[in-house]
Structure 1
């Protein structure tokens, strides 16, 4: 049954005897009202068939799809049973039920005789608790509609975290009442001088609410002490002058203090560490962000702070991780922060080096575990969605060991990246999309699909080799079968030549 178009691969799939279930207008949905509404929309979008409800007057003899929360099994797990006379989807919780419905949507098959679902039994649960995607809205701004469309796409593949990169050298995107100049003076900026934008607090709340409706947690990031050139435009007293010796210009303009930066180079900016004004600024922005964010995590960046002396960097990481912990949130930082030594207990590290770690990266990642935290894996040469899929791609970059094919995006095992990390030390997997070249939702689709599906499988499915079908050959077949579903969901995915697509 691993030939079915199921991505991410479920933990257990078993063929059942008998004919398929016929999906037509006579079918009725019973059970959980919220889940029933999700299923109704998904079936209507995929097939044009509008299913009825069990309380309809003519429903006494109708075939049923029962969707219920039964409280059985681990968090986010579900059971799906399809027979010719009915379908049952049972979730351990509301999230599990939602994921069971997404799996059901992948099973719907069209033919000349109508829409059907094959007879099958599925018992499924996630490998990792944290299954994330990241959208960089600082390099290029993406409005609320684009963000919500992106998170819907991710949720359909069982991702449960949306990490928003809300600040960088180019701009600060989230309105803060405590520091209004951040957006007033910088939100118009973007790479290449393109149009900018900002999220009001109402916008931010609407993204969080939409994410919650799709069982996703929003993790906001204000990146510091590096990646803070825009902060210096708004509040020059807290920013150091650009440090240009040895910085990575990436072929772009040279940054000038107080002027908008439109390039994509990194490593030149820093906050003034140890100043009272800087400490007050950091406290203001994270205190307000914590109050705005119901989720458990706040990300404070910590990457590519080449303009910050190592001792100052360590002092900043210690102080900022402790501040976030004092606000009742779990700090997250990119793996470089592991060099600091005095992380707040429980701080989570996000590893972004390669599948084979660059020098020192593994040690820094392990430091988070030593401090009582865990690690999120985002190896850049496997799951950075902004890398070109091949040399001919119009969008994307190639710094992470060249273009990243779909096969390379799939052929890695989370437990094998950082030596010494146990399964329990890994919080999960996140696939970031940096937006130096990404301006629209179509651009997002062009770079993320189909490689986002490979990241989904790394985050959800059993380890490589632990389940039948957890192979590249199976995956490329299964993902090819999702072509019709993605098309009806209006996902503008490129037809990768690595896949034989069903269209």
Structure 2
């Protein structure tokens, strides 16, 4: 049979027969695996409607047995490998993270048989290909509350994504409380793109997001976009902002879409880019950045702090490069690993800075050179090609949400790419992983998020997790078909492309 496993595990050995899930099935776990036991109980209840008892002691046939490997901790960065053995019982073994991922695999294997449930006899040994497997949510253009972010975490972690990149600031809004600069949220968070409601996260809100992400074995990557995408800063601190710089693309797009142009000191409701910049050589700017980035670093337990660096179209190249050199050094001095979008590779980024590549799968010479700079400086690359990995792009021209400036990305396009094959002359270990960004110009609700997330995120999850030699579109089509039932049981919506023969079992 075709096992409905996405992402595909490293090794799957099927055995004859199946385990029929009995009403008396229990979860056997000691106190080192009690968090995983609760997750497994929730998953089984969600999938089958019946919640098993959690016990300690000896297992009986038909039980679920969790074994936490010795010497591992609860960090999202611990050993992510796991094993699943299904025969007379179900045995899952791994670190805290490995147990969580093994449970997600069992979630997918549970299949309805009439009024009952079964699990195939199988032996699975699994570990990820890439360390960094991320999703991004743009909460700056459209603000999403804490509960929506948690729902996004649930969806992503079920597919074994382990990084949550939050795009917290942009021209349309500033979304994070900064104690030393209270005007940022007082003046800069009230609205969003197209006049949607604004909002921001208090520090306690952000801590709750970090806690919830950690419980789902995801690390939060906060982004403060600089030196462009900064119009909202001007609503609070106009003294450190340059006047908006109009460019031909911005003018043409605003006219085509009937959107307003940016005006200094007024909220920006359009979605054109490239017009804003902080004053790069002003000491007040750097006082501001030291205040802000220090607070973000203190608030974030993960190793990363993303400082943007994209689409600074109105900034002279020499000024941009000087800014990037200084801001990445500032982040490194705060004890964080700087991350930037790949354009920042034109500068002498701080040692160890990670670049996020968002060009196409056929890069220009300039984009490729910028991307290589990060590896020359001791960092690496996270691959987010906009024409395959951007979740905000439409599936087809008639899709009701999404954009199409990069490409129309159907499920096969989202699946059919290789992260190590984009930038020439790099070793495979220069690629740290992949990320699937979801920009929010056209989305306003969790239902909209689901439409763009499912099922393409599953394709991107497999690219990040599974071995390169296992990548096969026909196999993926067969395996993803049964995930419709899994997602429905969790009440996760989404698009169901007709090229997949979806199953409700």
Deviations 1:105-151 (A, max 9, x none): 10000011510000011110000001000000001000000000001
Residue 384 of structure 1: aligned partner: 390
Q: What CA distance in whole angstroms lies between the structure 1 residues aligned with 2:250 and 2:411?
A: 28
Q: How far apart in 1 are the matches of 2:26 and 2:64?
A: 6
Equivalent residue, structure 2, for 1:46? 47
Deviations 1:288-332 (A, max 9, x none): 100100000000000000111111101110110000000000000
**Whole-angstrom distance in 2 between the partners of 1:377 and 1:150:** 20
Task: Give the drift of 1:247.
Answer: 4.5
**Counterpart residue number, 2:374:** 368
Q: What secondary structure is seen at the aligned counterpart in 2 of 1:243?
A: coil
Partner of 1:439: 444
Q: Distance in 1 between matches of 2:166 and 2:275?
A: 22
Pair 1:81-2:80 in alignment: no
Note if contact 1:141-1:198 (Cα within 8 Å) is conserved in structure 2: yes
Residue 344 of structure 1 aligns with which residue? 350
1:173-212 correspondence runs (5 A): 173-212=175-214
1:489 counterpart = 2:490:
yes
Residue pairs, 1:52-67, within 5 angstroms = 52-55=53-56, 61=60, 63-67=62-66
- Separation in 2 of the partners of 1:152 and 1:245? 40
Within 5 Å, give how 1:143-182 maps onto structure 2.
Answer: 143-182=145-184
- Could you tell me how far apart the structure 1 residues matched to 2:170 and 2:434 are? 23
Post-superposition shift, 1:68? Answer: 1.2
Work out whether residues 36 and 67 of structure 1, in 8 Å CA contact, stay in contact via their aligned partners in 2.
yes
Deviates more, 1:490-499 or 1:66-75: 66-75
Q: Distance in 2 between the 1:60 and 1:359 partners? A: 60
One of 257, 266, 269 as aligned partner of 1:262:
269
Aligned partner of 2:401 in structure 1 is 395
Question: How far apart in 2 are the matches of 1:358 and 1:157?
Answer: 32
Q: Structure 1 stretch 47-56 or stretch 304-313: which is displaced more?
A: 47-56
- Say whether 1:501 aligns with 2:505: no
Question: Which SS does the other structure have where 2:197 is aligned?
Answer: coil
Q: Name the SS for the 2:194 alignment partner.
A: helix
Deviation at 1:55, TM superposition (A): 4.5
Contact 1:170 1:191 in 2 (8 A): yes
Structure 1 unmatched ranges of 5 or more: none
Query: TM-score scaled to structure 1, two decimals?
Result: 0.95
Q: Distance in 2 between matches of 1:120 and 1:239?
A: 60
Equivalent of residue 412 in structure 1, options 398, 417, 432: 417
Shift of 1:359: 3.9
Tell me how far apart the structure 2 counterparts of residues 352 and 303 of structure 1 sit (CA, whole Å).
10
CA spacing shift, 1:328–1:256, aligned 2, 3 Å:
same
Name 1:455's counterpart in structure 2. Answer: 460
- Deviates further, 432-441 or 358-367: 358-367
1:476·1:499 contact (CA, 8 Å) conserved in 2? yes
Choose the corresponding residue for 2:132, options 130, 133, 136. 130
1:305 aligns with 2:312: yes
The question of whether the paired residues in 2 share the 8 Å contact of 1:28 and 1:62 is answered with no
Matches within 5 A, 1:105-116: 105-116=107-118
- Are the equivalent residues in 2 in contact too, given 1:24–1:49 (CA < 8 A)? no
| Mapped contact 1:247–1:268 kept (Cα < 8 A) | no
For residue 75 of structure 2, what is the aligned residue in structure 1?
none
C-alpha contact 1:25 1:52 (8 A) present in aligned 2: no
Q: CA deviation at 1:362?
A: 0.9
Deviation at 1:72, TM superposition (A): 9.1
Kept in 2: contact 1:298–1:330 (CA 8 A): yes
Residue 53 of structure 1 and its aligned partner are, at CA, apart by: 2.6
The CA distance in 2 between the partners of 1:313 and 1:55, in whole Å, is 59
Q: Which residue of 2 aligns with 1:20?
A: 18
C-alpha distance in structure 2 between counterparts of 1:307 and 1:65, whole Å: 59
Is contact 1:174-1:198 (8 Å) kept? yes
Structure 2: state its 5+ residue gaps.
73-77
Per-residue CA deviations over 1:20-70 (Å, capped at 9, x if unaligned) read 1121321111122111110000000000122123349xx875532111122
1:479 aligns to 2:477 (yes or no): no
Query: SS at 1:16's partner residue?
Result: strand
The CA distance in 2 between the partners of 1:268 and 1:296, in whole Å, is 31
- Range 23-32 or range 389-398, more displaced: 23-32
| Contact 2:134/2:162, CA 8 A, preserved across alignment | yes
Aligned partner of 1:275 in structure 2 is 282
Instruction: Output the TM-score relative to the length of structure 2.
Output: 0.95
8 Å contact kept, 1:353–1:379:
yes
Q: RMSD between aligned alpha carbons?
A: 1.5
The answer to whether the Cα contact below 8 Å between 1:24 and 1:51 also exists between their aligned partners in 2 is no
> 2:143 aligned to 141, 144, 152, which one?
141
How far did 1:421 drift? Answer: 2.0
Task: State the match for 1:315 in structure 2.
Answer: 322
**CA–CA distance in 2 between the matches of 1:357 and 1:327?**
33
Residue deviations 1:414-436, cap 9 Å, x none?
11111122221011100000000
Separation in structure 1 between the aligned mates of residue 324 and residue 56 of structure 2, nearest angstrom: 58
| Separation (CA, whole Å) in 2 of partners of 1:113 and 1:144 | 37
> How far did residue 75 of structure 1 move?
1.9
SS of residue in 2 equivalent to 1:234 = coil
Alpha carbons 1:376, 1:429 under 8 Å: kept: yes
